[in-house]
């Protein structure tokens, strides 16, 4: 049903099989209104959106038995894969809907939805714990009733995970739905979190759901901002839906890779999609309102699809960490979220990160010490044991591996019998014997002045490496960073000042 082809961090490029074909994930899922859809579903299909989501509750109210007879694909005019929301959004907005969960489940089965969702009770954001728990329990009961009603089916039924900022409820919800046998999970209630720019809370919510169901595909409701897409994918979300492309267009909001901007603020259109090459900014603003809304919505769809494709390429290249960090710098609240990647709560990001990558990884600033490849290498060096009694530490150079350099050969002559190692602020101590192991042999580090107090992992690597080996003497060619780190680690060593010609001077 769900086959994973490539991974990086918790992101997955996969194949999701449904009754109406295969969907490649990660995928943005445009919301299609079953009655008043401005942009034709066929246009969406032609753009490359093979999966759309529509509202089964509105379809039931508007079409009733006609929808049962024709099927949802004919109703909305889309021959690709269709996901149906059973009315949870209306419940969130209005408190309830005039339909029972069993009736809604049977209707979604009757209209042949490929990826149907049971009628849930969204917790939203800011709900007191006891009320949120009540809503989670209602959703779980509705979901259990749904499976009883629909019985055997080819459709990919989705388990709606609720709980929002109450992370234990998120985990409870996900585990219960997994136990019921749902093939696909969907995280509810993120829209209000994103509207409040609570990206850190959203990240923790995703992480808790992934902890409960690490292998099953996960859908994220209401994620339609170009900045949130790479982060959501990196955290493990496989699909995400939104009507943002149209809602933003109605408000004259023009999407771009770094966010959105009011159309009235643009002197130029910084895009090369079919819309933007057809108009100047002034010409686009001058269009009649309905036509302008349509054109901006088409542009917004282009940006969303391009963002997904760029993220998928970053997965293929093994550069998703770099891409996410680049995107996070577009907004401080998003950077708050990615700073959480340093915590053990997000240790699961390492599971999908390759042990070796063909391309060198990049180290820029302090957050990069926590990327999975660096963590993995520091664990390796913590297990390294040397039989030598003298340790010679030298700053990492531009050439890798260390043992292939002229400097290494010179140090061997000057310090025969010593354990030679280089050091890197992100990787810690790098013994010469394993300096050819990824990523010690495959990294590019920005050469800037650093404060070791911002690199606790380096100080810990230095302390553990020296504590785990029985060196009688430690000699360190120390730059300013290393001198500060040695003081923090309380390392007793003979210090040689760093210079470009330090080997000759020694």
Catalytic machinery residues: 85
Which stretch of DSSP H or E encloses residue 197? Answer: none
Three-class DSSP labels, 362-409? EECCHHHHHCHHHHHHHHHHHCCCCCCCEEEEEECCCCCCHHHCHHHH
Look at residues 478, 336, 306 and name the one whose alpha carbon lies nearest to residue 395. 478
Rounded CA-CA distance 76/54 in Å is: 8
Task: Order across the sheet with 2-8: list the strands.
Answer: 2-8, 11-18, 21-25
CB 381 within 8 A of CB 429: yes
What residues contact 125, with CB distance under 8 A and at least 6 apart? 164, 165, 189, 192, 193, 196, 198, 201
- Give the SS3 label for residue 406: helix
* Residue 452 φ/ψ, nearest 5 degrees: -65, -20
* Cis status, amide bond into 422, omega within 30 of 0: no
Tokens read off for 35: 């009655």
* Residue 353 φ/ψ, nearest 5 degrees: -90, 125
Rounded CA-CA distance 149/101 in Å is: 9
CB 171 within 8 A of CB 160: no
Rounded CA-CA distance 108/119 in Å is: 10
CB 12 within 8 A of CB 20: no
Rounded CA-CA distance 125/123 in Å is: 7
What's the start-to-end Cα distance of the chain, in Å? Answer: 63
In angstroms, the Cα distances linking 77 to 44, 45, 70, 137, 246 are 11, 10, 11, 36, 18
Rounded CA-CA distance 248/349 in Å is: 32
CB 131 within 8 A of CB 91: no
Q: DSSP of 50-102, one letter per residue?
A: -EEEEEHHHHHHHHTHHHHHH-HHHHHT--SEEEEE-SHHHHHHHS--SS-HH
Neighbours of 240 (CB within 10 A): 28
Look at residues 224, 253, 308 and name the one whose alpha carbon lies nearest to residue 47. 308
Rounded CA-CA distance 254/248 in Å is: 7
Look at residues 475, 452, 10 and name the one whose alpha carbon lies nearest to residue 206. 10
In angstroms, the Cα distances linking 444 to 141, 163, 191 are 53, 41, 38
């Amino acid at each position: 049903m769900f086959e994973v082809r490539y991974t990086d961090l918790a992101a997955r490029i996969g194949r999701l099989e449904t009754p109406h074909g295969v969907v490649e994930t990660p995928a943005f899922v445009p919301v299609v209104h079953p009655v008043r859809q401005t942009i034709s579903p066929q246009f969406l299909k032609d753009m490359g959106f093979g999966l759309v989501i529509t509202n089964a509750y509105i379809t039931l109210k508007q079409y009733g038995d006609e929808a049962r007879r024709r099927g949802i694909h004919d109703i909305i005019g889309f021959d690709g894969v269709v996901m149906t929301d059973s009315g949870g959004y209306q419940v969130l907005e209005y408190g309830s809907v005039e339909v029972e969960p069993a009736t809604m489940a049977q209707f979604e089965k009757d209209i042949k939805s490929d990826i149907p969702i049971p009628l849930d009770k969204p917790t939203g954001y800011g709900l007191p714990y006891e009320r949120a728990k009540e809503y989670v329990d209602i959703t779980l009961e509705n979901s259990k009733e749904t499976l009883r009603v629909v019985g055997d089916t080819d459709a990919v039924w989705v388990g709606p995970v609720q709980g929002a900022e109450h992370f234990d409820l998120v985990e409870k919800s996900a585990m219960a739905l997994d136990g019921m046998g749902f093939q696909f999970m969907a995280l509810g209630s993120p829209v209000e979190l994103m509207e409040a720019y609570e990206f850190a809370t959203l990240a923790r919510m995703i992480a808790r759901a992934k902890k409960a169901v690490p292998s099953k595909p996960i859908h994220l409701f209401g994620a339609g901002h170009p900045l949130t897409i790479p982060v959501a994918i990196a955290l493990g979300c496989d699909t995400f839906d939104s009507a943002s492309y149209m809602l933003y267009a109605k408000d004259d909001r023009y999407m771009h890779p770094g966010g959105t901007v009011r159309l009235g603020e643009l002197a130029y259109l910084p895009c090369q999609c079919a819309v933007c090459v057809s108009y100047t900014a002034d010409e686009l603003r001058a269009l009649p309102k309905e036509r302008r809304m349509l054109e901006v919505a088409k542009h917004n769809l282009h940006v969303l699809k391009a963002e997904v494709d760029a993220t998928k390429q970053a997965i293929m290249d093994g550069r998703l960490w770099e891409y996410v960090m680049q995107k996070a710098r577009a907004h401080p609240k998003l950077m708050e979220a990615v700073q959480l990647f340093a915590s053990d709560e997000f240790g699961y990001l390492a599971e999908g990160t390759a042990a070796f990558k063909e391309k060198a990884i990049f180290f820029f600033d302090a957050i990069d010490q926590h990327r999975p490849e660096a963590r993995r290498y520091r664990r390796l060096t913590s297990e390294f044991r040397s039989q030598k009694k003298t340790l010679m530490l030298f700053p990492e150079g531009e050439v890798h591996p260390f043992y292939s350099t002229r400097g290494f050969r010179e140090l061997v002559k000057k310090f025969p019998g010593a354990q030679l190692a280089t050091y890197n602020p992100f990787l810690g101590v790098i013994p010469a014997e394993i300096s050819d192991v990824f990523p010690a042999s495959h990294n590019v580090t920005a050469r800037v002045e650093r404060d070791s107090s911002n690199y606790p992992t380096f100080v810990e690597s230095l302390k553990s490496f020296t504590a785990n080996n029985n060196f009688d003497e430690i000699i360190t060619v120390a730059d300013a960073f290393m001198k500060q780190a040695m003081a923090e680690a309380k390392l007793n060593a003979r210090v040689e000042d760093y210079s470009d010609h330090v080997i000759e001077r020694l």
